[in-house]
Structure 1
Amino acid sequence: MRDLPPSVKLVYIVLIEKGALTQQGIAEESYLPARTVRSSVKQLKEIDVIDEEISSQDARQRVYYLITDDREGS
């Protein structure tokens, strides 16, 4: 994580503090533009730090969470 851009680290910290969020939720909490959030989420997924699942409230959206969450293996 040391070599990642500050925006990616901010998304990571938001997910630590707030738990599972949609991209819109991450953008609202971090004040980052949606495009930056999409890029940051993609980078975190590529290094297996976060994962996604379909939102139970809106099947069109994905919820992102840290892989170290209790959801892992369930």
Structure 2
Amino acid sequence: MHGDRLEIVGLVAADRRGSGEGGALVTAAEEWARDRGLTTAQVLSGSERNAAHAFYRGRGFRGVKTEQVFVKSLAGER
């Protein structure tokens, strides 16, 4: 749980996709959140993960934001 919403940050390993486990986990998480009075669920998913986006859209989620993440390695810099 994150603040006043359910936040899903990961579901199943790549080799388990398509097994139905992800859908079952989302359903269980949503029920858990409703039982605690939460009214919103959020998922963070990388922009390149098109299959994941389709999975979540198919379960009623809608895209609301696009962002970039910037990373810089500091190893070896002085």
More helix by share: 1
- The question of a shared fold, defined as TM-score above 0.5 by the shorter chain, is answered with no
